[in-house]
Structure 1
Amino acid sequence: MKATDSFGCPFDKLYKNQSIQGADISFFRKGALELKLEQVTTPASERGFAIGISTTGGHSRRIFHEHHATTYDFAENSIYVRNLADPYKADLGGPFDFLLLEISPAALQRIAQESDLAGIASLDIKTAWSDPVLANLVKTLIPALEHPEHASRLFVDQLASAIGIHIVQEYGGKLVSAKASRKLSRSHEALAKNMFLENLKGDISILDVAKACNLSRGYFIHAFRETTGMTPYRWLQKERISRACELLRTSEMSLSDVATACGFADQSHFTRTFANTVGTTPGQWRRNA
């Protein structure tokens, strides 16, 4: 019997097999080049829900139910939502490149609660359903999946939170309740900012900061944005750039050393982010300063 991954795909057929963990959501990328794979099966489990996003077209699958089978064609940005409590059996046709999300039952309820949604314990089942919003959100994580060692934990957690909110809003079958205005206290704002500044690389989870403030992750994200006008990741990027400008203006440090001091993965990452934010390269900015 061939070894398979947790979604039933044989390892020897996968040319892409990547993963990264976000806040309450596990992310994967699975790709195969075979025109026809053997039948994929997974037994029922209590793992929760799987959401798949097709990054390319041309894939089809024939899914077997108790008394019949149905065939679906996946276009680019087509998604499926699967309850892993149900056994699954399908014939896969054509190459595929899927981004996959796995959400446990407890995580689903936590995401719903922190998002000010009515209690949600299940998701609506969908197959070959178009959702370009979800597709584009999850595709933003592709660089992190390809190079998890360089991924900002803060960025991944923040994006996972946004993805979770979209999923419960679109597929939880519940209406969003009205959100009350909420802001961080001055002490919580100062504590959060200090924790972020002490971890300029973003190697800190939003949950860690929220716990330090004695707040839920979802409440903290909303409150931080309402207090500062920015998401935690965007605020930290702004602080990195501000610190870089100060070092470029007042020191003779090399661009590589400035990049390291300001929490960027390397000089290339620093130059790209600086140029996108300021409109010019760090070297050019230094010459004009």
Structure 2
Amino acid sequence: MTESYGRRFGKRLRVENAPAMVTRALRNADMAVTEVRCDNPPLEMTGAFQREDAFVITLHLRDRPNREYWEDGRRALVCNFRAGDICLYDLKRNPAALLDKPYHTLFFYLPRVALDTIADEANVPRIRDLSCKPGAAVNDATISSLGSLLLPALRHPDQANRLFVDHVLLAVGVHIAQTYGGMRPVSRLVRGGLAPWQERRAKDMIAANLDGVPVKELARECGLSSAHFSRAFRRSVGVAPHNWLIEQRIVLSKKKLRDDRLSLTDVAAECGFSDHAHFTRHFVRIAGVTPSAWRRALKE
């Protein structure tokens, strides 16, 4: 898995060696960091990234003046980066840049499901978007400091403390969620929402029964009427119970798509979808690409 992230970013940035580290500190979500350095750029555009519901945060470790940036094939802006600046990219927008100057950059991979999990574990509403101008330089001392802590681990992975790496990457995710996603810890319950124990119980039941759980059963476990439970779940989680169920099916399907022995129809059935078309429709809506495209990207 670690090597696949390194190959993925190395290929897009036209370099052969791109050390990476992955954390699974979050339930059902991978986060990763990749170091990419190039002293002799190829004078061409970066390769296309797989479109998906995920963000990439870059930390520039050297100055990069007049960096030219594109989104969805259109030139978006030219920006000067200083060492220590960061930039946020939405992988649904097909970000690209011109590789015309030497660069040394850390790439933090932060999928939507990781942001959702961070919000869920903090018992706060889920984040809808990150507030930052795409492609623009931002001075963020926290990410700069956290990134510097990871450099020794990336260069000497055999000596790296995995627990330390997990905590640093998790700190990056939480900082992004709070600073650019507007996530705020709450000292009281979300008005009209579920109590923490009710939310945990409902999510545990849904996650354990991906074929589906009747709302009335979830409501009964929480001591609420079906209508009250549905409203409170949406208020606390940000989506309806059925939508959260679909999201968990997609999380499971991504794990199963790594197994080439399973056909897409098999994956659909094992994840609780009625058929291949049903699976594909929801996968595209949540991940931004088809299951087959997502599987192919794993091998690149």
Number of positions where the alignment pairs a residue of Structure 1 with one of Structure 2: 174
Q: For 2:146 and 2:35, locate their aligned partners in 1 and report how far apart those are by CA, in whole Å.
A: 14
SS at match of 2:83: coil
Q: Match of 2:63?
A: 57
Answer yes or no: is 1:10 the counterpart of 2:14.
yes
- 2:68–2:75: 8 Å Cα contact kept in structure 1? no
Q: For 1:114 and 1:61, locate their aligned partners in 2 and report how far apart those are by CA, in whole Å.
A: 37
* Root-mean-square deviation over aligned CA pairs: 2.4
TM-score by length of 2: 0.52
Q: Match of 1:206?
A: none
- 1:116–1:179: 8 Å Cα contact kept in structure 2? no
- 1:47–1:103: 8 Å Cα contact kept in structure 2? no
SS at match of 2:69: strand
Larger radius of gyration: 1
Deviation at residue 110 of structure 1 after TM alignment: 0.4
Answer yes or no: is 1:172 the counterpart of 2:181.
yes
Gapped runs of 5+ residues in structure 1? 181-289
Deviation at residue 90 of structure 1 after TM alignment: 2.1
- 2:53–2:92: 8 Å Cα contact kept in structure 1? yes
**1:64-143 to 2 correspondences below 5 Å:** 64-65=70-71, 68-126=75-133, 127-143=136-152
**1:99-248 to 2 correspondences below 5 Å:** 99-126=106-133, 127-178=136-187
Query: In 2 relative to 1, CA 89–100 (structure 1 residues): closer, same or farther, beyond 3 Å?
Result: closer
Q: Match of 2:37?
A: 31
Q: For 1:174 and 1:28, locate their aligned partners in 2 and report how far apart those are by CA, in whole Å.
A: 25
Deviation at residue 137 of structure 1 after TM alignment: 1.1
SS at match of 1:31: strand
- 1:50–1:84: 8 Å Cα contact kept in structure 2? yes
TM-score by length of 1: 0.54
SS at match of 1:34: coil
Runs of 4+ in 1 over 3 A off after TM superposition: 65-69
- 1:44–1:86: 8 Å Cα contact kept in structure 2? no
Gapped runs of 5+ residues in structure 2? 1-5, 190-300
- 2:39–2:102: 8 Å Cα contact kept in structure 1? yes
SS at match of 1:111: helix
Q: Deviations over 1:32-83 (max 9, x none)?
A: 1025631114145115110100112134421124654410111011111111
Higher relative contact order (CA 8 A, sep 6+): 2
- 2:44–2:100: 8 Å Cα contact kept in structure 1? no
Answer yes or no: is 1:21 the counterpart of 2:22.
yes
The amino acid of 1:128's aligned partner reads A
Q: Deviations over 1:217-264 (max 9, x none)?
A: xxxxxxxxxxxxxxxxxxxxxxxxxxxxxxxxxxxxxxxxxxxxxxxx
Q: For 1:47 and 1:32, locate their aligned partners in 2 and report how far apart those are by CA, in whole Å.
A: 28
Deviation at residue 133 of structure 1 after TM alignment: 1.2
Q: For 1:30 and 1:138, locate their aligned partners in 2 and report how far apart those are by CA, in whole Å.
A: 13
Query: In 2 relative to 1, CA 43–150 (structure 1 residues): closer, same or farther, beyond 3 Å?
Result: closer
Q: For 2:89 and 2:147, locate their aligned partners in 1 and report how far apart those are by CA, in whole Å.
A: 17
